[in-house]
Amino acid sequence: MADASLPRHVVITGAAGALGRAVVQQFLEQGARVALIDHRLDHLAGAFPGLDHSQHLLLEADVTSTESMAAAGQRALDAFGGRVDAVVHIAGGFEMGDAVHALGRAAWDRMMNLNAWSFVAVTQALVPSMIERKAGRVVAVSAKTAARGAAGMAAYIASKSALQRLVEASAAELAPHGITVNSIAPSVLDTPANRQAMPQADPGQWVSTSVAARTVAFLASPAAAALHGQHLTLDA
């Protein structure tokens, strides 16, 4: 039986990815209804073949587009009777890049759009309904590396640092409305993609997606009501 104090209606972006699937499973086990967003509907259908579509939504949307997210957000709100208890923003991107003095504008814009502007587009679509209800949880996925620059990662780190600043500003703005905004900041997540990209590394030193998913669920729960603008570092 679902705990009535836990989020009942949850919107999750980047749901078809490795972390997304773990987070979705966590909320399903809590009895939540979920609206799952990814940039490809077939990715969602492949990741969640047995999902009950009478209770849950699969939505294709571009998280960097305010128009696309507005449409997806409205569909979720319509399906959930105007109530979204938690928004979990996982969608983003990573890529190594050139040195700062050789950085191209396209690479900069790509990282900033995926990792920072997307947070604006997603919250713009869903936070106003939370303000009306004076309740809600927003959880983003930032990165431990956002704290300090590193060679070949300038655009990525800058974008995740920008995301953290957006989380902090949003937390200050929304706390008076009964809404918390926080992030998890993993080091390296143990995903198939990361194992393939770093075959010589020891995955035992990475963070499991199940642990990260439980931390996300904690931030979306009543137990995290006193946390505002925090970035919970996850590191094995």
What pLDDT, on a 0 to 100 scale, did the predictor assign at position 1?
46
Q: Which long-range contacts (CB under 8 A, 24 or more apart) does 124-129 make?
A: 124/66, 124/69, 124/70, 125/66, 125/69, 125/70, 125/72, 125/73, 125/74, 126/11, 126/73, 126/76, 126/77, 126/84, 126/87, 127/87, 127/170, 127/174, 127/179, 129/77, 129/82, 129/83, 129/84
What pLDDT, on a 0 to 100 scale, did the predictor assign at position 7?
84
Report the percent of the chain where pLDDT is more than 70. 98
Q: Per-residue pLDDT tens for 67-118? A: 999 999 999 999 999 999 999 999 999 999 999 999 999 999 999 999 999 9
Q: Cα-flanking dihedrals φ and ψ of residue 136, to 5°?
A: 155, 165
Q: What angle do CA 205, 211, 214 make, to 5 degrees?
A: 165
For tokens 């997603």, name the residue. 122
Q: Model confidence at 3, in pLDDT bands (50, 70, 90)? A: low
CA distances in angstroms from 126 to 41, 72, 76, 129, 164, listed in the order given:
20, 9, 9, 6, 19
pTM for this one? 0.95
Mean pLDDT in residue range 177-198: 92
